[in-house]
């Protein structure tokens, strides 16, 4: 019998956007602006088995990152449910999770606590995280001064060393210098060999998805298209994109 780590049922997520209008129009309409509703994720259901590595593919604007953030608990769904069966979860994504004015070291503590680790547990792994990140003296600098590559190195290092039951990755493996890419790729392969760890990867890199993922979910314009064996779904997706 399958043991599921993630169960998503009838998930829908909407954004509200305000229509642009001039100052004159705003004045004439009593400063009231109409909000348009955009449905980024439309009634999607899928299940991820414990220990599975799922890749999520789709063209830009298909709702991949929105769905990942909902699974991570950052966004609340407008409809549907997400069941993580009590598993701890971490999200690797550029621009998510760090306080810009805090140093890299302080953000390690904050991020670790948000993941459910105690201060003692985080401090015990602190040196290992800093060494893996290769940030050196910059670990004491505010994160707002970091480049995107430095940011991704720190984010990846925290998630790689403070291991959770479920790891969500949003394009982070494709950021950073070539040597760190190889290093993070090798570390990710090491992490996912643990049959108790579940990984979900959003990536536009078909090679990464093909090499790492056991299954692929394809979504298009917020809707479920196909889910199945990696080679099979990637072939259909690449044919569609061509």
**For position 24, what pLDDT does the model report?**
60
**40 φ, ψ to 5°?**
-80, -35
Length of the chain equals: 242
Q: What's the average model confidence in pLDDT over 32-55?
A: 87
How far is residue 112's CA from residue 155's CA, in Å, rounded to a whole number? 11
**For position 96, what pLDDT does the model report?**
65
pLDDT at 28 over 70: no
**For position 192, what pLDDT does the model report?**
76
Question: In a 10 Å sphere around its CB, with 0-12 CB exposed, 13-18 middle and 19+ buried, how is residue 22 labelled?
Answer: exposed
CATH architecture of 4-87+165-241: 3-Layer(aba) Sandwich (3.40)
Handedness of CA 19, 23, 29, 31 (dihedral sign): positive
**For position 32, what pLDDT does the model report?**
56
**For position 26, what pLDDT does the model report?**
57
pLDDT at 127 over 90: yes
Angle between helices 119-133 and 104-114 (to 10 degrees): 130
More confident residue, 176 or 15: 15
- Per-residue pLDDT band at 2 (split at 50, 70, 90): confident
- Percent above pLDDT 90 for the chain: 57
**For position 11, what pLDDT does the model report?**
96
pLDDT tens, 155-201? 889 988 988 999 998 876 655 677 888 888 788 788 877 788 999 99
Predicted TM-score of the model (pTM): 0.82
What integer best gives the mean pLDDT of the chain?
A: 87
Q: What's the average model confidence in pLDDT over 72-90?
A: 92
**For position 27, what pLDDT does the model report?**
57
Q: What's the average model confidence in pLDDT over 57-73?
A: 92
pLDDT tens, 197-221? 999 999 888 888 998 899 999 999 9
Strands, sheet with 89-93, edge to edge from the N-terminal-most edge strand: 89-93, 166-170, 198-202, 53-57, 215-220, 223-229
More confident residue, 20 or 114: 114
Q: What's the average model confidence in pLDDT over 4-12?
A: 96
- Of 67, 108, 70, 54, whose CA–CA distance to 223 is shortest? 67
**For position 33, what pLDDT does the model report?**
57
């Amino acid at each position: 019998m399958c043991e599921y780590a993630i169960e998503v049922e009838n998930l829908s997520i909407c954004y509200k956007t305000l229509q642009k209008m001039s100052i004159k129009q705003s004045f004439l309409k009593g400063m009231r602006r109409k909000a348009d509703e955009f449905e980024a994720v439309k009634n999607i259901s899928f299940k991820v088995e414990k220990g599975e590595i799922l890749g999520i593919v789709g063209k830009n604007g298909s709702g991949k990152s929105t769905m990942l953030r909902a699974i991570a608990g950052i966004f609340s769904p407008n409809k549907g449910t997400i069941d993580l069966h009590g598993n701890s979860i971490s999200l690797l994504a550029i621009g998510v999770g760090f306080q810009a004015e805090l140093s890299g070291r302080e953000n390690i503590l904050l991020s670790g606590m948000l993941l459910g680790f105690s201060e003692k547990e985080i401090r015990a792994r602190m040196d290992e995280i800093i060494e893996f990140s290769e940030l050196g003296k910059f670990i004491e600098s505010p994160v707002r001064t970091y480049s995107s590559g430095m940011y991704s190195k720190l984010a990846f290092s925290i998630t790689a060393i403070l291991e959770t039951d479920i790891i969500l990755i949003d394009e982070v493996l494709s950021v950073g210098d070539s040597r760190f890419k190889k290093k993070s790729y090798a570390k990710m392969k090491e992490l996912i060999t643990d049959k108790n760890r579940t990984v979900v990867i959003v990536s536009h890199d078909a090679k990464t998805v093909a090499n790492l993922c056991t299954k692929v979910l394809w979504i298009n314009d917020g809707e479920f298209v196909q889910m199945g064996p990696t080679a099979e779904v990637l072939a259909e997706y690449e044919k569609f994109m061509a």
